[in-house]
Amino acid sequence: MESTKDVRDRLRDAGLRATRPRQLVYETLLEIGGHHSVDELVSLLGDRGHQVTRMSVYNVVADLQRAGLVLCADTGPGRALYEVAQTWHHHFVCRVCGSIADVPCVRGEKPCLDPPSAFNGRVEEAQVIFRGVCETCERHE
């Protein structure tokens, strides 16, 4: 786990002011890992004695995402899920239990897919969502 000073430094290095809500949300995402919704973060922060409004958490994850510290885990329709941005990757979503797992990107950087040559425009990222049955669910089928 990173220290509070490390988190503040990382926020500042990304061009953000190290506000208390940003520190709390980023520290929490670092600590718990995985993919989490804003509602989960609000609830967890509340359980830890930190009352941060839902709107504040939405604003914080948007700031962290723009700064490249947090990714919105594209898992398809439904609630947005956030995770700490460490390397560019994709996601596998189990159609049985809904679990989400990170899948390394072949290139390891954006964009990992090239559009057809007839495409006009600049592609900045491409996201792939793998769907299927996770190993745990497959053992129980």
Which segments in the chain show pLDDT lower than 70? Answer: 1
Cα–Cα distances in Å, from 103 out to 30, 60, 131? 19, 26, 11
Cα–Cα distances in Å, from 21 out to 43, 49, 50, 84, 134? 14, 13, 9, 16, 35
Structure token digits, residue 113: 């897919």
Cα–Cα distances in Å, from 67 out to 14, 46, 53, 92, 105? 6, 25, 21, 25, 21
pLDDT one-digit tens code per residue, 2-32: 777 889 999 999 999 999 999 999 999 999 9
Give residue 1's pLDDT. Answer: 60
* Contacts of 98 by beta carbon, 8 Å cutoff, 6+ apart: none
Is residue 75 within 8 A of residue 101, CB to CB? The reply is no
Phi, psi of 43 (to 5 degrees): -65, -45
Q: Where in the chain is the domain with CATH 3.30.1490?
A: 89-140
Report H helices in the chain. 4-13, 20-32, 38-47, 54-66, 135-140
Q: Where in the chain is the domain with CATH 1.10.10.10?
A: 4-84
CATH architecture of 4-84: Orthogonal Bundle (1.10)
Pick the CATH number of 89-140 from 3.30.160, 3.40.50, 3.30.1490, 1.20.120: 3.30.1490
Amino acid letter for position 114: D
